[in-house]
A and B are shown apart, each in its own frame.
Chain A
């Protein structure tokens, strides 16, 4: 299948800080591809470069066969973008926002009417389309934006944190739309998220991103298999690196990674190995302050590669409004 997106050594720096660091990846047409990582990992910056809103500092990217630096216009014609922060005109009604968009994309009057009622039905906003957007709830705005991103039937749709700050029911709804879009219309979808379950549920392939780089890229199930069993996390007082080394000599320890004051250890049947792990720590004169056992999930994959949970630094749901208020300080990142 032809690549919908082809990225080579894509890099973006801001005043000496490298937000996206030499990324290379391909996304075949029709794939639902996820970028998973904490806030500040560089997901949004990547999306903004692919959507022609930011120029790459170096490297190149093609979207739908067009270069994002030299053929911006063609790229813009083939993509739809749903931004992380709302990008609606709140002084216009829902329908007017959609009409504005449809006209900007050159749709004629009849086509416009047809498609607008189609997407309004899809996101179930027909009854609210005459209201000013400033009266919409957060979930309604998000749905309206998703509807807007679809009006011109883009080949590639970018969804930047599509369910950030939404309640569980709305999130479930939006997940269903996204799956449906991808399955029925064959739209290639690039989605960023810091919700593990979202990436796991939706994406055919997931790239785990941290500090501007991909630390892993595969299907969710392969990523989980790669861990090769359960993950035991131990927090200890003492030399984590040395303890990790000594643990490697146990044949049942599949892998072991030391972090600042903790270890992630991969073993099979972790619940039976924990006593032994603690014993060995004590024998080595180390104090164990916390033990955690997890069955494989993307969360563990993330932990395994980065040594931290995504929530350590990810925004909580209530943070969305604050994030918006300081939007212009952050937006440069």
Chain B
């Protein structure tokens, strides 16, 4: 069923494309870095309600921005099936004698890797800006969260890609799915400030647990126990792999 060679070759393709598109790397990094720089500086001296006195806003913000970068690049990664459809290459993939689940996993492997590279770059730049992590060991846990967040939203992107015929629905997905997921996740502010009904919605957002887990791993502050975040993210990512694979399998390549 699962074909490791097919997964590897799809991953390899993604890497080649990614490394050749320098502008894509810069483009993908620009928005998170602007958020980080401007929000970080702008809110620097403000006490964030619900955070207590000891935490600078920039420390609070870095995990959120990493979560944001993962959300965007992974959802787009899933949606990029539509580009392959547009350029015809999807047909080449679909007539190949490999199982559909291998194709989905190969795509995810590529998408996770590119999203991780971007996150690590953001983290690195944050270090240069003076960001400090609580413990180097927990950095590994942060990477685990990054992978799970990425997988979850790659799955989501695949679901949308299977339901859409071309890139025309892109802005709808952007405005009505990705941005609400981002703002609801607590990436920019503590969820404790939201009214109860909105907070309930936030708890249905996978990114909420992802960002909270990242925060726990990177700065040692989180709203929930980190293990709870981890459990939720594991469940979300497995569910989204399944859902993405299911929709991808059912969609026709033409």
Which of B9, B16, B254 is close to A104, meaning CB atoms less than 8 Å apart?
B9
Known A92-B13, A104-B6, A328-B165; contact A87-B96, beta-carbon cutoff 8 A: no
Closest to B106 in A: A104
If over half of A's interface residues share one DSSP class (helix, strand or loop), that class is named, otherwise mixed; here it is loop
Closest to A84 in B: B88
- A: contact size bracket: 20 to 34
Q: Does B87 contact A (CB under 8 A)?
A: yes
Point out the residues of chain B lying under 8 angstroms from A39, CB to CB: none
Known A73-B97, A87-B91, A328-B86; contact A96-B6, beta-carbon cutoff 8 A: no
Point out the residues of chain B lying under 8 angstroms from A88, CB to CB: 88-89, 92
A53 adjacent to B95 (CB under 8 Å):
yes
Q: Does B94 contact A (CB under 8 A)?
A: yes
In chain A, positions 87-108 with a C-beta closer than 8 Å to chain B are 87-92, 96, 100-101, 103-106
Which of B20, B85, B97 is close to A105, meaning CB atoms less than 8 Å apart?
B97
**Stretch among A74-82, A201-209, A228-236 lining the B interface:** A74-82
Q: Taking beta carbons and an 8 Å cutoff, which residues of B are in contact with A?
A: 5-6, 8-9, 12-13, 16-17, 20-21, 85-99, 165-166, 252-254
A100 adjacent to B91 (CB under 8 Å):
no
A301-333 vs B, CB cutoff 8 Å, 1 = contact: the mask equals: 000000000000000000000000001100110
The 8 tightest CB contacts between A and B, nearest first, are: A76-B97, A87-B88, A77-B97, A104-B96, A103-B9, A87-B92, A87-B91, A328-B166
Distance in angstroms from A263 CB to nearest chain B CB is 40
Q: Does A51 contact B (CB under 8 A)?
A: yes
Tell me the bound Cα distance from A55 to B6 in angstroms: 24
Tell me the bound Cα distance from A79 to B92 in angstroms: 12
Point out the residues of chain B lying under 8 angstroms from A85, CB to CB: 88
Point out the residues of chain B lying under 8 angstroms from A54, CB to CB: 252, 254
Question: Could you list 16 examples of A-B contacts with CB < 8 Å?
Answer: A51-B95, A53-B94, A53-B253, A53-B254, A55-B252, A81-B95, A85-B88, A86-B87, A88-B92, A89-B89, A90-B87, A91-B16, A91-B21, A96-B13, A105-B97, A328-B85
B254 adjacent to A103 (CB under 8 Å):
no
Distance in angstroms from B156 CB to nearest chain A CB is 22
Closest to B94 in A: A53
Tell me the bound Cα distance from A106 to B88 in angstroms: 22
Q: Does A182 contact B (CB under 8 A)?
A: no
Q: Does A214 contact B (CB under 8 A)?
A: no
Q: Does A83 contact B (CB under 8 A)?
A: yes
Tell me the bound Cα distance from A91 to B13 in angstroms: 9
Q: Does A52 contact B (CB under 8 A)?
A: yes
Point out the residues of chain B lying under 8 angstroms from A90, CB to CB: 87
In chain A, positions 218-245 with a C-beta closer than 8 Å to chain B are none
Point out the residues of chain A lying under 8 angstroms from B20, CB to CB: 91
Q: Does A48 contact B (CB under 8 A)?
A: yes
Closest to B5 in A: A103
Point out the residues of chain B lying under 8 angstroms from A86, CB to CB: 87-88
Distance in angstroms from A55 CB to nearest chain B CB is 7
Point out the residues of chain A lying under 8 angstroms from B16, CB to CB: 91-92, 96
Tell me the bound Cα distance from A147 to B166 in angstroms: 29
In chain A, positions 137-165 with a C-beta closer than 8 Å to chain B are 148
Tell me the bound Cα distance from A107 to B45 in angstroms: 61
Point out the residues of chain A lying under 8 angstroms from B97, CB to CB: 73-74, 76-77, 104-106
Tell me the bound Cα distance from A332 to B166 in angstroms: 12
Point out the residues of chain A lying under 8 angstroms from B21, CB to CB: 91
Known A53-B254, A89-B89, A331-B254; contact A76-B95, beta-carbon cutoff 8 A: yes
Point out the residues of chain B lying under 8 angstroms from A100, CB to CB: 9, 12-13
Tell me the bound Cα distance from A283 to B85 in angstroms: 60
Distance in angstroms from B167 CB to nearest chain A CB is 9
Point out the residues of chain A lying under 8 angstroms from B90, CB to CB: 87
Known A55-B252, A91-B20; contact A73-B99, beta-carbon cutoff 8 A: yes
Closest to A108 in B: B5
Point out the residues of chain B lying under 8 angstroms from A103, CB to CB: 5-6, 8-9
Point out the residues of chain A lying under 8 angstroms from B166, CB to CB: 328
Tell me the bound Cα distance from A27 to B88 in angstroms: 28
Distance in angstroms from A137 CB to nearest chain B CB is 17
Distance in angstroms from B87 CB to nearest chain A CB is 7
Point out the residues of chain B lying under 8 angstroms from A148, CB to CB: 92
Tell me the bound Cα distance from A124 to B85 in angstroms: 28
A53 adjacent to B91 (CB under 8 Å):
yes
